[in-house]
Amino acid sequence: MRLAAANEAVLHAEQLAQEASRTLAAADHAYRQALAQGVDNDSLDRHRTWIDTQRSRLAVRTRDCADRRLAAHEASQNAMQARRRMRMLEKLRERALKRHLADIRLREAREADTLAVLKHARRAIEEGH
C-alpha cells in the first residue's frame, strides 16, 4: 500500500473509531437515564443489547484502526527502504559516470600523446631529409 493512502486509511479508521466511541458513550448515557427513570426490564434489556452491540462495533473499529496503523508503518518502512535503494543506485550511477569520464580523459590523453609522438616523428623525418 502506498504511504499516502495508508495514512489516509489510518485517519479514516480513527474517525470511525471515535464515532463508535461516541455512540457507545451515548448508549451508556441513555442506559443510565433509563435506570434513573425506572423503565421496565424489557427496555433495560434492549439498552444492554444496544450497548453490547456498540462495544462490539467499537472493538472492531479499534482493531481496524490498529491494522491500518500497522499497514501505514509497513508502508513507511517500505518507502524509507525504497529511498535508501534509490540513493544507493544514484551513488553507484555517479561512481560509474565518474569512472567513465576518467576513462575518457585517460583515453583522450593517450590519444593526444600518440598524436604528439607521431607529429614529432614526422617533423624529425621531414627535417632529416
- Label each residue of 57-74 as H, E or C: HHHHHHHHHHHHHHHHHH
> What is the band of 77 on the pLDDT scale with cuts at 50, 70, 90?
very high
Torsion of CA 27, 29, 33, 36, to 10 degrees: 120
Model confidence at 1: pLDDT above 80: no
Grid cell at residue 1:
500500500
Name the strand (E) or helix (H) holding 39: none
Q: What's the mean pLDDT in 106-125? A: 94
Structural domain that includes position 27: 3-128
Q: What's the mean pLDDT in 95-109? A: 97
Model confidence at 129: pLDDT above 70: no
User: What mean pLDDT, rounded, does the chain reach?
Assistant: 94
Grid cell at residue 41:
426490564
Q: Hunting for cell 443489547 — which residue is that?
A: 49
Number of structural domains (the chain) is: 1
Higher pLDDT, 58 or 129: 58
Model confidence at 54: pLDDT above 80: yes
